[in-house]
Amino acid sequence: DVKVTQSSRYLVKRTGEKVFLECVQDMDHENMFWYRQDPGLGLRLIYFSYDVKMKEKGDIPEGYSVSREKKERFSLILESASTNQTSMYLCASRQGNKNIQYFGAGTRLSVL
Amino acid sequence: GIQVEQSPPDLILQEGANSTLRCNFSDSVNNLQWFHQNPWGQLINLFYIPSGTKQNGRLSATTVATERYSLLYISSSQTTDSGVYFCAVDAGGTSYGKLTFGQGTILTVHP
């Protein structure tokens, strides 16, 4: 089974803090994604990476950056957390020649 | 970009009832997935179904690509079916598999 692991289930941070959300997949997938989920809006794509050190903006990249130094790990960075970044964050991975995406369990982030 | 609309937004059922969830999309797709999000937030793949019909136990799905919609059928619903059901599509090309999600259908099954 594909396993996508997010480092934290729940996080509470203060406004202005730098926040790191970590995601690790164990299936050697090329593509990795970060989404955020808000009530009534479904999931929206923040950033994705199609290979090591490669990244592209998704639909809502403002206020976020990402890092992919190793194939199995994709990090989402909130440079200066703000209250409007309180949300559920979901990581996913996909093998390059396959269409199915596999999701982690999510991180609920609260920014106070 | 591609638009995805799901209906109904909310659905309340008694255990044992059947239901149909719908997903409309605005352009041709090379990937369509149905997910179930459980109460703990985990998204579970139900079907990968860009076209045709598939069945898995009490669940089945049909995608009519030429008419740009997909249906998810749940028969003999159980309380464990409760949660949010998402449809997500990928328009293909150089999108690297990026999925565009609908807003979801919140299903509540009462005992």
Q: What is the pLDDT along chain A (112 residues), one digit of tens a residue?
A: 668 999 899 999 999 999 999 999 998 888 999 999 998 888 999 999 988 989 999 999 999 999 999 999 999 999 999 999 999 999 999 876 667 889 999 999 999 9
Q: Of the candidates B44, B18, B23, B26, which has an alpha carbon nearest to the alpha carbon of residue B88?
A: B23
Question: At A93, which helix (H) or strand (E)?
Answer: strand A87-94
Please name the helix (run of DSSP H) or strand (run of DSSP E) that holds residue A92, with its range, or none.
strand A87-94
Count how many residues are written for chain B. 111
Of the candidates B30, B42, B101, which has its C-beta nearest A43's C-beta? B101
d(CA B89, CA B23) in angstroms, rounded, equals 10
- What does the alpha-carbon distance between residue B91 and residue B6 come to, in Å, rounded to a whole number? 17
Yes or no, beta carbons of B99 and A33 under 8 Å apart: yes
Residue B92 at interface with chain A, using a CB cutoff of 8 Å: no
